[in-house]
Structure 1
Amino acid sequence: MFTGIIQGTAEVVAIQEAEAFRTHVVALPPALRQGLEIGASVAHNGVCLTVTAIEGERVSFDLMRETLRVTNLGDLAVGDRVNIERAARFGDEIGGHAMSGHVMAVAELVELDEAPHNRRLWFELPHALGRFLFDKGYIGVDGASLTIGEVHPATAGHGPRFCVNLIPETLHRTTLGERLPGDRVNIEIDPQTQAIVETVERLLEARGL
């Protein structure tokens, strides 16, 4: 389990390609390596990955075909940075919202509004996920737990859109401050929202409504 509170970023320092498979190596700073062991779970841009090797600051993770298909991790190149969160432990403060590290889709950044002390980002999602978007609801964007500011429903020309408002601390701590229109981000729908919406849909279907 993760909380969506990004603990730092790490640079991708090596990538090993294989057929429908990739190993990427990131340079983790000391604070993020403390107590880290092979087999531990670490979220990269919100994707739960397993540590496969540790060589000093260089920590390796394997990416399977499904991970490469569903997330933006397959877009990474050496020199890129990823948002990092270690798995939550009992007793940790839950400053964000409960997240599983299972990305459902990617969204495209379609608009960026700058203001003196914050930044508003608009993302477009696949049509199927629009029913999970609510004003002031939670959403995971590249692993960061964020509050949805506003939702625009899908139209004939584009999918559903939502915006998030980022404060300077979020821009400093994560890679979201580097995102530009056209970039793709990983999306995890709030699990509680998903469960409620799907339960209501099943009940209404069962009653023929």
Structure 2
Amino acid sequence: MFTGIVQGTGVLVSVDEKPNFRTHVVKMPPELLPNLALGASVAHNGCCLTVTEVNGDLVSFDLIKETLRLTNLGDLNVGDVVNLERAASFNDEIGGHLMSGHIICTAEIAKIQTSENNRQVWFRMPHAEYMKYILHKGYIGIDGISLTVGEVTTSRFCVHLIPETLERTTLGSKRLGDKINIEIDPQTQAIVDTVERVLASREAAMAAAQALAEQP
């Protein structure tokens, strides 16, 4: 599990591309290296990846077909920067919200509004069905960053970014059209899906009762 508080950024130093598979190597910041071992989980732009090799501050990770399909990690090139977070420990402060590192899709940056000390960024979701999980003032993971949802429309939503977030993460360098990893809040998803199932079951029962009552 992760908290959505980005602990640092890392530079992609090499990529080994294979069919439906790639291994990339990230230069990790010193503060994220202590006790980092094979098999450890590290979120890259919010996507949970497993350490496969540690060589000083150069750490390798494997990306399979599903990861490449659902996230923006397959679009990265040498020199690109990723948001990093080590897996949370039981005694860690939950400064953001609990996140699993499972990306549901990528969203496109549709609009950026900048004012003094503030930035509002709008994201366009690829499928309208995902919008039912994105609620005003709810939580969402944006490239691994725990953020609060601002305004919501039928296909888009926005977040408000403070200077600290823009400076400490990759969001400060993002531009229109860039693809961003999206993780919806799992608790919100569970509640919405449960309510939908209950309502569907109730409607089915009412329809069955009505059909039975109409029989001669």
TM-score normalised over the length of structure 1: 0.96
1:78-117 to 2 correspondences below 5 Å: 78-117=78-117
- What pairs with 1:160-175 in structure 2 (closer than 5 Å)? 160-175=155-170
Alignment of 1:166-185 (within 5 A): 166-185=161-180
How far apart are 1:25 and its partner, in Å?
0.3
- Identify the residue that residue 147 of structure 2 maps to in structure 1: 146
How far apart are residue 143 of structure 1 and its match? 0.3
1:204 is matched with which residue: 199, 204, 207? 199
**1:97 Cα deviation after fit:** 0.3
- Tell me which residue corresponds to 1:133: 134
1:193 pairs with 2:155: no
Structure 1: segments with no counterpart, 5+ residues: 154-159
Query: Displacement, 1:127?
Result: 1.1
Q: How far does residue 85 in structure 1 lie from its aligned partner after superposition?
A: 0.3
Q: In the TM superposition, what is the alpha-carbon distance from 1:30 to its structure 2 partner?
A: 1.0
User: What's the offset of the Cα at 1:128?
Assistant: 1.5
Unaligned stretches of 5+ in structure 2? 205-216
Alignment-derived partner of residue 37 in structure 1: 37
Displacement of 1:29: 1.3
| Aligned-residue offset at 1:109 | 0.2
- The separation in 2 between residues aligned to 1:202 and 1:60, in whole angstroms, is 42
Deviation string 1:63-110 (CA, Å, 9 cap, x unpaired) is 000000000000000000000000000110000000000000000000
Larger Rg: 2
**Superposition RMSD in Å:** 0.7
Which residue identity does 2:54 align to in structure 1?
A: I
Kindly provide the amino acid, as one letter, of the partner of residue 198 in structure 1.
D
1:26-71 Cα shifts (integer Å, max 9, x gaps): 0001101111001000000000000000011100000000000000
Q: Tell me the CA shift for residue 189 of structure 1.
A: 0.3
- Corresponding residue of 2:66: 66
**Secondary structure class of the residue paired with 1:207:** helix
**Equivalent residues, number:** 203
The residue type paired with residue 142 of structure 2 is V
Aligned sequence identity (%): 61
Deviation at 1:146, TM superposition (A): 0.2
For 2:93 and 2:156, the matched residues in 1 are separated by 31
Partner of 2:46: 46
Q: Which amino acid aligns with 1:161?
A: R
Q: 2:132 and 2:28 mapped to 1: Cα distance?
A: 37
The aligned amino acid for 1:73 is L
More helix by share: 2
SS at match of 2:167: helix
Is the partner of 1:208 in helix, strand or coil?
helix
Name the amino acid aligned to 1:57: D
Q: What is the distance in 2 between the residues matched to 1:38 and 1:118?
A: 40
Runs (4+) of structure 1 exceeding 4 A deviation are: none
